[in-house]
Amino acid sequence: MSIFNYKQHNNIILVSIVVLGCFLLYALSELFSSILGAIVLFTIFRPFFLYMVEQRRFNRTLAALIIIFISLIVIVIPFLSLSIMVIGKVGSINRDSLPIDKWSVKIDEFAGANLNQPHLAENTLQKLGAYVADLFPSLLSSAASIIITLLVMYFLLYFMFVQMREFEMGLLKYAPFREQHALKFAVELRNSTYSNVLGQGIIALTQGILLANGFWIFGIPDPIFWGVIGSFISFLPVVGAPTLCIPASIILFANGHSVQGVLLLAYGLLFIGNVDNVLRMIINKRVGNTHPIISVIGVFIGLPLFGILGLVFGPVLLSYFLLLLEIYETNRMAADRLERIRSPEL
């Protein structure tokens, strides 16, 4: 005969579930990037998967493998290639074609004479070098971790698609809110993911291309490399790709090309900066509205947790969190109304 009653049994089981769940979350913390990446890719490619399975009559396994292949070609491989290129370029930037030392001297002379900052370029390069070293860790030293992360991510993604109905029904079953709110959460999750991942990706690519084109027109060396850097920086809403035009303009001023310096500065701050705003308005109307504050705070949250991937994952996580808060508030208000209906007024 048990010494616990039915309610005590349930409470003990609930506490055990919470404790074991915390241990599992701690154990899986290293794979959180894989889990979040699988969720993001599932959300992005779900309409295409349904199109292949329901309209084109593809086998579920084949459709899942096609999506994995497409995501590798379109997202993973280019991202890794660009990261390798950036790391290699940063590592050889003082030895190759970019005359960094010469530029630094001219910028320091110009800044010392006009801005009372005689060591502006030297200090900026030191800070930039430390920041880039943290942002782009050595791929060779973390190759095993990257491979494991990708394998787990695609393992999860494969079963999410192959068993999609079971996966989604399980989410609905164990969701801590009603079905209509769960469906609303799914729609908002899709919109937030599209806005933060696809939308910001389009903006970053566009700004990188425009920056490279501007540097090529005004004679800044290695415009493709700086365009790639601009694409990465475009994920930072406060900084953005146009800010790279400021040091480039100072270089032109220091070399005696004042007109080109003014034109490049205007091109970056006025044209490239406004392209960001126009594209963001179009994306918000067509996909989902993500407030710039979410992007800014999300980046600062994501970078320490995920490194360079935090530029994407940080705003996505913050959007999910705010969405859950909204649903909780809706549920609480509904519960309060129900309580008032059931309780007679005194």
**pLDDT digits 0-9 by tens, 134-155:** 555 544 455 567 778 888 889 9
Could you tell me which residue, 35 or 11, shows the higher pLDDT? 35
* Rounded average pLDDT over 62-68: 92
Give residues with Cβ within 8 angstroms of 224, minimum separation 6. 212
Sequence-ordered alpha helix ranges (H) in 51-99 = 60-71, 77-91
3-state SS, residue 301: helix
Query: How many alpha carbons lie under 13 Å from residue 102 in its C-beta half-sphere?
Result: 8
* Rounded average pLDDT over 152-166: 90
Phi, psi of 291 (to 5 degrees): -65, 140
Letter string b/e over residues 260-296, b meaning 16 or more CB atoms within 10 A of that residue's CB: bbebbbebbbeebbebbeebbeebeeebbebeeebbb
In order of 54, 66, 132, 292, 297, the CA distances from 59 in angstroms are: 10, 11, 44, 41, 42
Query: What is the pLDDT of the chain when averaged over all its residues?
Result: 75
Q: Nearest Cα to 231, choosing from 203, 269, 264, 258?
A: 203
Q: Which of 67-81, 188-202, 320-334 has the highest mean pLDDT?
A: 67-81
Helices and strands, number each (H, E), in the chain: 16, 0
In total, the chain counts a number of residues equal to: 346
| Cα 104 to Cα 219: distance, rounded to the nearest angstrom | 17
| Cα 239 to Cα 145: distance, rounded to the nearest angstrom | 30
* Rounded average pLDDT over 258-286: 79
